[in-house]
Amino acid sequence: MPALSTSGGLPDPLGEVKPLMLRFEQIRVNYLRHTRPETESLSRLSKPPKPPAEAPDADIFTVSRLNREARRILEAGLPPLWVAGELSNLAQPASGHMYFSLKDEQAQVRCAMFRNTNRRLTFQPEDGDQVLVQARVSIYEPRGSYQLIVEQMEAAGEGVLRRRFEELKKQLNNEGLFDERHKQSLPPVPRCIGIVTSPTGAAVRDILKILARRFPAVPVIIYPTRVQGAAATEEIVSAIAQASTRNEVDVLIVARGGGSLEDLWCFNEEKVARAIYACPLPVVSGVGHEVDFTITDLVADLRAPTPSGAAEIVVPDSIELLRNIAGQERRLARLVQRHWADYRDEIGQLNARMRLMHPGTILQQLQQRSDDLVRQMANGTRNYLEFRRLAGAQTLQRLRGTAPVERIRRDLDRTRALRDALGHTLGRRLATLESRVAIAAGNLNAVSPLATLERGYAIVRDVKTGAVLRTTGHVKTGDRIEARLARGSMIASVEKIRKK
Write the pLDDT tens digit of every residue in 274-285: 999 999 999 999
* Residue 148: strand pairing partners: 111, 137
Q: Are 481 and 463 in contact (CB under 8 A)?
A: yes
Residue ranges of the chain with pLDDT lower than 70? 1-58, 157-160, 354-363, 400-406, 446, 451, 500
Q: For residue 219, what pLDDT is reported?
A: 95
Q: For residue 39, what pLDDT is reported?
A: 44
Q: For residue 40, what pLDDT is reported?
A: 45
Q: What residue spans define the domains of the chain? A: 13-155, 176-314, 318-448, 452-493
112: left (phi over 0), alpha (psi -120 to 50) or beta: beta
Of 272, 261, 189, the C-alpha closest to 232 is: 272
Q: What type of residue sits at position 280?
A: P
Q: For residue 25, what pLDDT is reported?
A: 60
* Torsion, CA 164, CA 170, CA 172, CA 177, rounded to 10: 140
Q: For residue 30, what pLDDT is reported?
A: 54
Q: For residue 11, what pLDDT is reported?
A: 42
pTM: 0.43
Q: How many residues does the chain have?
A: 500
CA–CA gap between residue 498 and residue 345 (Å, rounded): 43
Write 350-357 long-range contacts (CB < 8 A, 24+): 351/436, 351/440, 354/440, 354/444, 355/440
Helix (H) or strand (E) holding 143: none
Q: For residue 357, what pLDDT is reported?
A: 65
Q: For residue 403, what pLDDT is reported?
A: 57
Taking the domain 176-314, which CATH number applies? 3.40.50.261
CATH level 2 (architecture), domain 13-155: Beta Barrel (2.40)
Strands (E), 269-375: 283-287, 302-303
Helices (H), 400-446: 405-446
CA–CA gap between residue 29 and residue 280 (Å, rounded): 64
Q: What type of residue sits at position 466?
A: G
Helices (H), 176-201: none
CA–CA gap between residue 83 and residue 219 (Å, rounded): 54
Q: For residue 13, what pLDDT is reported?
A: 40
For the beta sheet containing 193-197, the strands, ordered from the edge strand earlier in sequence to the opposite edge, are: 220-224, 193-197, 251-256, 283-287, 302-303
